[in-house]
Structure 1
């Protein structure tokens, strides 16, 4: 049993994302809610989008590990960036963390007017799947 990530012919090929993921029956699905670039007290780590991006991914990692998963188990990432945030800086900071083993995960990205945490520039959420032994 394995999770299959596909980049079908006829769709753009990207090293950054796949288009389809197939999770076999019996896998445990884990949903991670939106994680911002905040510390354990809820304070923003900085006003820099790259630093917030790295911390948001670190928060997602902590959440995944609490549920018995890792970043490599993520099937799909959702990334929300405030409209005027530097996309290249954000993705440059987290691209190595988004990639999983083999084919990359699915990625949803959107620019938004604002996020729930004042001053937050990025929010990430994830869907992961862990195969049973």
Structure 2
């Protein structure tokens, strides 16, 4: 059985997110810790939110791949933006990659005063699930 992502009647329908996800028994859960727009040395790649957002998603891809998962396996994203960041530019950069697995995942977003990485304008974390058939 595949992971089900639902947009129940009576709730807003969005191509960007679903409201509920059902992960079948036997699936492997993968937790992605907060990723920022930093290079391999930990330096923030730019002061531009769109550039940071792209690198953040690149880093998320690399981290998920290390666990045998991909962006398409993400069930839920949490996205944090620093106050004052251009949300249109950030979402424009990441939206195509948030929902890569058909039905969109669950998404929680918030604006915060700051992040743990000085100069970072965006941070994402995620929960992914691999169906039992894809796990050895």
* Distance across 2 between alignment mates of 1:52 and 1:28: 29
Q: How many residues are paired up?
A: 133
For the aligned residue pairs, the C-alpha RMSD in angstroms reads 0.6
Partner of 2:55: helix, strand, or coil?
A: helix
* Distance across 1 between alignment mates of 2:128 and 2:72: 9
1:114 and 2:114 are equivalent in the alignment? yes
1:94 and 2:94 are equivalent in the alignment? yes
Structure 2 residues not aligned, in runs of 5+: none
1:71: which partner in 2? 71
2:82: which partner in 1? 82
Structure 1 residues not aligned, in runs of 5+: none
1:12: which partner in 2? 12
* Distance across 1 between alignment mates of 2:128 and 2:27: 10
Q: Which stretches of structure 1, 4 residues or more, deviate above 6 A after TM superposition?
A: none
TM-score (norm 2): 0.96
* Distance across 2 between alignment mates of 1:48 and 1:66: 27
CA contact (8 A) 2:71 2:101 kept: no
Deviation at 1:103?
1.1
* Distance across 1 between alignment mates of 2:39 and 2:103: 31
